[in-house]
Amino acid sequence: MTRPLRLALALISLSLPLSADDAAELAKLRSLVREHAAGMNFSSVKSQGGKVFNDVIVTKVTETSVTFHHEKGEATLEADDCPTVWAELFGFGTSTETTAPAETPKPSLAKPADTAVAEAIAVIEGDKGTGTGFFGRDGEQTYLYSAAHVLSGNSRLKVKLRNGTLVTKFGQLEAAEGGDLIRLPVNEPVPKVLEIGAASGVSKVGTPILASGNAAGAGTVGFEQGKILGVGPESIEIDAQVIQGNSGGPIIHGETHQVLGVVTHLTAERKDLWAKGTRFADVRRFGCRVDRTWQWKQVPVDVFLKEGKAVQAIHDQSELMIAAMQPDKWKDEIFQTQKDNPLSRDIVALQGWITQQQSGQRFSEMDRKKRLRGIFDGARHRSKAQMAEFKCDGFTWFHRESGQQEIKTRQEIDKAYESAVNDIR
């Protein structure tokens, strides 16, 4: 631990007289904390004037104010209106003899001065979405780690550091066989590299952790505090409040800062009787373990992205086919986003025909059924042709698993279409 960090933890929150040297160190440290404060998360803060702000993400700190996002928008508090914890943390109106209150609220970031960890986090921007990655070292090689689904479905990708610098020099992508996990060798210098937990296993229930990432795709790096709730062969369950955009970010040991996992997914809350009154009734959050040995499959990035696009095409067609069977959804956005799809064009044309017939009072239910039967029959044949060409057995594990699930889903949809064609008379 560096001397400035020891001073931050020992002096910011204690009422001790400071020597001239320590006061200078503390002033430098507070300046450093202000400089790197962007991305700090606070569940709730209260201004000196009594205003309460929830779900706070700091975006900028100067010597006289703090600007931040919150659940209702963006706001700025002047130094004299900031919460006590911010005044102490950022050095607003404090002198070397000022004492801090005995108890102050704690921000979600367990160790604010450990902002160097954030220098190892990268924002991954794709044409279909955004997520998170981080730089970790395995042996002598530095890698960009992320979740496989962060890259999947995109055609183009950008990897950005916190300061906006692009990282562009990578080796061949490696995909984990058995997990939602990828890594790419990094062939250029990066500001910070995290230590990966030992393959023998470090994750244990109750271990304090920090989960970091580009929460909600807002382009800012923050930390969520929590602990490990469960450990499995491939996954760990955590209670840190990660959301969309955090995917691909590191799950870091709260004390050693070793990376234990990669944020991957959450499961929806359960409403059944068995879950009632337990933690399983709530949203559950998971990560893919990195403190274990994985079998890595090398594949060019463009091949990996093509796999994802192929799986996504099957998924999109299935979603459209499901919507087409529900007339109350014919006005939904999916028919606009896939307006060039033959099934979408047929449904839009059918709606236009119905409107025209009704306006002229010539509407025939028999004609409507005949047209709808033809639309479903055409969609069914196109679906079979599409699935005959879809081969995912040679894909990387994540896309192979996703593809096989899409095949099962499409088989059920095709059966429903076949029944509908036979039933519409």
Model confidence at 267, pLDDT cuts 50, 70, 90, reads low
* Confidence at 2, pLDDT banded by 50, 70, 90: very low
Which own/partner pairs from 228-233 qualify as long-range (CB within 8 Å, at least 24 positions apart)? 228/203, 228/204, 228/260, 229/205, 229/279, 230/205, 231/203, 231/204, 231/205, 231/289, 232/289, 233/289, 233/292
In the chain, the domains with their CATH numbers are: 3-95+107-113 (no CATH), 116-298 (2.40.10.120), 300-423 (no CATH)
Q: How far apart are CA 48 and CA 51, in angstroms?
A: 8
For 28-32, 201-205, 334-338, which range has the lowest pLDDT when averaged over its residues? 28-32
Instruction: Categorize the per-residue pLDDT at 341 as very low, low, confident or very high, splitting at 50, 70 and 90.
Output: very high
Share of the chain above pLDDT 70, in %: 79
What is the spatial distance between Cα 296 and Cα 177, in angstroms, rounded to a whole number?
A: 6
pLDDT, tens digit, for every residue of 177-195?
Answer: 999 999 999 999 999 999 9
What pLDDT sits at residue 281?
Answer: 45
Mean pLDDT within 51-67: 86
pLDDT digits (tens, 9 = 90+) for 105-155: 333 333 433 566 788 999 999 888 788 999 999 988 999 999 999 999 888
pLDDT at 356 over 50: yes
Q: Is the pTM of this model over 0.85?
A: no
Give which of 351, 372, 363, 382 is closest to 422, Cα–Cα: 372
Extract the tokens encoding 378: 């055409």
Compute the C-alpha angle 111/136/283, nearest 5°: 60
Give the span between the Cα atoms of 397 and 299, in whole angstroms. 11
